[in-house]
Amino acid sequence: MKLEFSEIGQVDDKELKFAVISAFFQGKWIFVKHKKRDTWEIPGGHRELGEDINDTAKRELFEESGAIDFDIRPICDYLCDYSLGENKKSSYGRFFYAEINKLGDLPDSEIGKIELFDKLPENLTYPEIQPYLHNIAIKQMAKNKYLGKQVKVTMDRVLGSKHPSHGFVYPVNYGYIKNTVSGDGEEIDVYVIGEFEPLESYEGYVIAVISRKNDNEDKLVVCKDFNIYNEDQIRALTEFQERFFESEIIMFKNY
């Protein structure tokens, strides 16, 4: 089985056969269990005849989770190619991210149970697909929830300290945000820039998200104010560690 991801608009709309929605509620991820299966999956389902794919996502999210108040947005389109397997089929779908404000009763459908998870559950219905989608959703959540927001950082690698395994020295303070979950199941890591002495903790604004394309976790960049550092400067300050990854720096636009 092969997965191929595309930006919205690159796939012909009529080729989109299903919608999958990664949903975040009260700091946790929603996964659902089909009445005929004992495994967990991300909410989603097939597009009905003549239905707008965005309406498919809204309908499926309600039917499979009971969500009645939510903000939802498309992230990407993707191809599930089974042409190398026994089923000999492939199809396109659209992947969405939703932040749920209120859950109602679970409608009478094929879904028998929903549950909230801190991280990806182990017993998955589609283990070849869902980890990829979940990591994409985490990256989207980091951008939506933290970019431009004030956060408190706890340091575990202060400026001037040495990495315990790789030996490099940290030229900036490096820490994490308590009670958060990143793509690796650990707390979200943070580069603190613009401070020039070792710190135990720090409060500042998330001025950028470093989105790693070949890793399952992103990093936040925190500073005391906006518009002090540009993208090139952030890349230079974090190069000591980010040079091992292919990444995109997403800046907060404070204007």
Is residue 50 domain-shared with residue 112, that is, in the same domain? yes
Alpha carbons 127 and 212: distance in angstroms, whole number: 21
pLDDT recorded at residue 87: 54
Is residue 189 domain-shared with residue 216, that is, in the same domain? yes
Q: What is the pLDDT of residues 158-203, one digit of tens each?
A: 999 999 888 899 999 999 999 887 877 789 999 999 999 999 999 9
Is residue 159 domain-shared with residue 207, that is, in the same domain? yes
Is residue 121 domain-shared with residue 137, that is, in the same domain? yes
Of 253, 178, 248, 251, the residue nearest 218 (C-alpha): 248
Alpha carbons 132 and 208: distance in angstroms, whole number: 23
Containing domain of residue 216, as a range? 147-251
Which CATH number do you get for residue 229? 3.90.80.10
Is residue 114 domain-shared with residue 182, that is, in the same domain? no
Round the average pLDDT of the chain to a whole number and report it: 90
Please say which residue of 101, 127, 145 terminates a domain. 145
Reading the block at residue 47, the tokens are 């597009």
Please say which residue of 128, 145, 162 terminates a domain. 145
Is residue 155 domain-shared with residue 209, that is, in the same domain? yes
